[in-house]
């Protein structure tokens, strides 16, 4: 990675829609090459998936990490749980919900996804006292389940919701003294 890599993600806007979709597309191609069905058929349709991405951009929930002019990674974060996935008691706890965490293949293997998760959790803890970092993960992507478990996330449950494939839930407590995001060392 270049030394001038921005160390903090930048808030993305609607003008970044194609960048986000391209990162997702690149990840989908890579997953397919590994025999993983995640994102092969956008859920429930491509148009509805793209609209969710666009809405997250308009709502100020999506972040991009850059290496100069090159997009490195993206994550969408929000305070509110999806009410059909997380139980009422879970929803009452302050948490950060991370969606569409994608690292460009050129930057894979450099711990960027983990550091982006740490950054989001740190930010949420400071801004509104979040106690949990939570993710909903594609049911059939067992390698991704293992990835989150390696990052100290614990399996919560599989939440069956309208045949949505991204409903295996994981969470981890947010450390009280989290490390700041420092991608220059990645």
How many CA atoms, within 13 angstroms, populate the side-chain half-sphere of residue 181? 22
Q: Which of 78-92, 96-110, 166-180 has the lowest mean pLDDT?
A: 166-180
Q: What angle do CA 133, 11, 58 make, to 5 degrees?
A: 95
Residue 3 is predicted with a pLDDT of: 33
Average pLDDT of the chain?
88
CA distances from 100 to 1, 59, 94, 96, 97 (A): 22, 15, 20, 13, 10
In tens, the pLDDT along 102-150 reads: 999 999 999 999 999 999 999 999 999 999 999 999 888 999 999 999 9
168 contacts 139 by C-beta, under 8 angstroms: yes
In a domain, 69, yes or no: yes
Can you say whether the dihedral through the CA atoms of 158, 160, 161, 164 is positive or negative? positive
Residue 56 is predicted with a pLDDT of: 96
Domain count, the chain: 1
Provide the residue range defining the domain that includes 144.
Answer: 10-185
Strand locations in 38-179 (E): 62-67, 70-78, 95-103, 132-137, 154-158, 168-173
In a domain, 1, yes or no: no
In a domain, 3, yes or no: no
Count of other CB atoms within 10 angstroms of residue 108: 13
Residue in 119, 116, 142, 182 with CA at minimum distance from that of residue 31 = 142
In a domain, 4, yes or no: no
In a domain, 2, yes or no: no
The CATH number of whichever domain residue 171 belongs to comes to 3.40.630.30
């Amino acid at each position: 990675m270049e030394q001038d890599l921005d160390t903090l993600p930048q808030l993305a806007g609607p003008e970044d829609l194609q960048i986000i979709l391209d990162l997702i597309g690149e990840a989908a191609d890579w997953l397919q090459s590994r025999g993983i069905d995640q994102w092969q058929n956008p859920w429930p349709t491509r148009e509805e998936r793209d609209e969710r991405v666009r809405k997250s951009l308009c709502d100020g929930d999506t972040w991009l990490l850059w290496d100069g002019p090159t997009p490195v990674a993206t994550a969408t974060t929000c305070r509110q749980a999806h009410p059909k996935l997380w139980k009422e008691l879970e929803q009452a706890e302050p948490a950060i919900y991370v969606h569409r965490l994608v690292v460009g293949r050129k930057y894979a293997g450099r711990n960027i996804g983990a550091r982006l998760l740490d950054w989001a959790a740190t930010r949420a803890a400071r801004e509104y006292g979040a106690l949990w970092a939570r993710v909903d993960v594609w049911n059939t992507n067992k390698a991704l389940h293992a990835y989150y478990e390696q990052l100290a996330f614990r399996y919560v449950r599989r939440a069956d919701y309208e045949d949505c494939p991204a409903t295996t839930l994981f969470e981890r407590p947010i450390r009280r003294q989290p490390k700041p995001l420092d991608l220059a060392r990645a």
